[in-house]
Structure 1
C-alpha cells in the first residue's frame, strides 16, 4: 500500500474520530472492528443478489456491486487498523502482507546460494 493510500485511510480515521460523539477510545475501536462484520454482510447480500438466492428479491445485484462491497470491507478493515495503530498501522499491514506472500510463494531459484 502506498503512503498516499495510507494517508487516505488515515483521513477517514481522523474524520471518524472527530465525529465519534461521546464514544471512548475503547468503544471507537470496538465499533470499527464490528463495522467490518456489517460490511461483510453487505458483500454477502450482494452475492446472494447476483445468484438470485433470495426468491423474494431475485437478481438484485451485479458483480460490480460485489466488487464495490469488497472494497468497502477492505477500507473498513484498514480504518480499524489505523484506529488501533495510527502511527504504525501501514507498516504493520505491509509487514503482514509480505509475510503472507512469503508463506505461499515458492522460494526463488537460486535463493540462498
Structure 2
C-alpha cells in the first residue's frame, strides 16, 4: 500500500526526471556541453525570467495575475535546469525547495519578488565564485554553495507562486508538463 511519503517521493522523482529531460533537450538545442560555462549561462538565464516576473508584477495592477504565475513557474524551471546542471543528484534538494505544503506566509508579493531577486544575485555570485579563483586564493564558493543558492532561488519563486496562486502546485505541474512534452517532441495542437 502506498503511503503519503512514498507518493510524495514518487512525484518528486517524476518532477526531477522531467527536469533532467528538459536539461538534456536544452543542451541539444543550444549545442552546449556540460561545462562550467554552460552552467554559468544557465544561472544567468534565470535573470531573464526574473525580469519577466518583475514585468508581470507591474502588470498585475491591471491584469489577473496569470502572467505573474507563469513567470514564476518559468523561474522555477530555469533554476531547476541550472540546479540539475550543477548536480544531477540534487533531486531531494530541489523537491524540498518546492515543498508546496510549507508555503503559508502572507508576505506582500512585491517583497517576495524582491527576495527572489536577492536569491538570484546570490546564485550569480556563487557561480562566479565557483568558476574563478586567483593563484593565491582558492575559489570563493564551492559547488555545494551554488547548489544551496539555486535551491534558495527555487524556494523564493515557489513562495511567491504560492502567494499569487492558490493552486500553485497544479500550476507549476502544468507548466512543467508543457516544457517536458516540448523537450520530448510532443506538440500540443490546442
Q: Normalization by structure 2: what TM-score?
A: 0.42
Q: Distance in 1 between matches of 2:176 and 2:114?
A: 22
Report what 1:110 is aligned to: none
CA RMSD of aligned residues (A): 3.0
1:61 partnered with 2:138: no
The structure with the greater share of residues assigned to helix is 2
Instruction: Tell me how far 1:7 sits from its aligned partner.
Output: 8.8
After TM superposition, the structure 1 = structure 2 runs for residues 70-109 of structure 1, keeping only pairs within 5 Å, are 70-86=150-166, 88-107=167-186
Q: Distance in 2 between matches of 1:61 and 1:7?
A: 24
The size of the alignment, in residue pairs, is 94
8 Å CA contact 1:6, 1:90 repeated in 2: no
Change (3 A) 1:78 1:100: same
Q: Distance in 2 between matches of 1:59 and 1:44?
A: 14
Q: Distance in 2 between matches of 1:33 and 1:43?
A: 15
Q: Classify the secondary structure of the residue corresponding to 1:61.
A: coil
Unpaired stretches in structure 1, ≥5 consecutive residues: 21-27, 108-113
8 Å CA contact 1:49, 1:60 repeated in 2: yes
Q: Normalization by structure 1: what TM-score?
A: 0.68
Instruction: Tell me how far 1:8 sits from its aligned partner.
Output: 3.7
Comparing 1-10 with 30-39, greater Cα deviation is found at 1-10
Instruction: Give the number of the structure whose alpha-carbon radius of gyration is greater.
Output: 1
8 Å CA contact 1:43, 1:66 repeated in 2: yes
2:118 alignment partner, one of 38, 51, 54? 38
Instruction: Tell me how far 1:53 sits from its aligned partner.
Output: 5.9
Unpaired stretches in structure 2, ≥5 consecutive residues: 1-7, 13-94
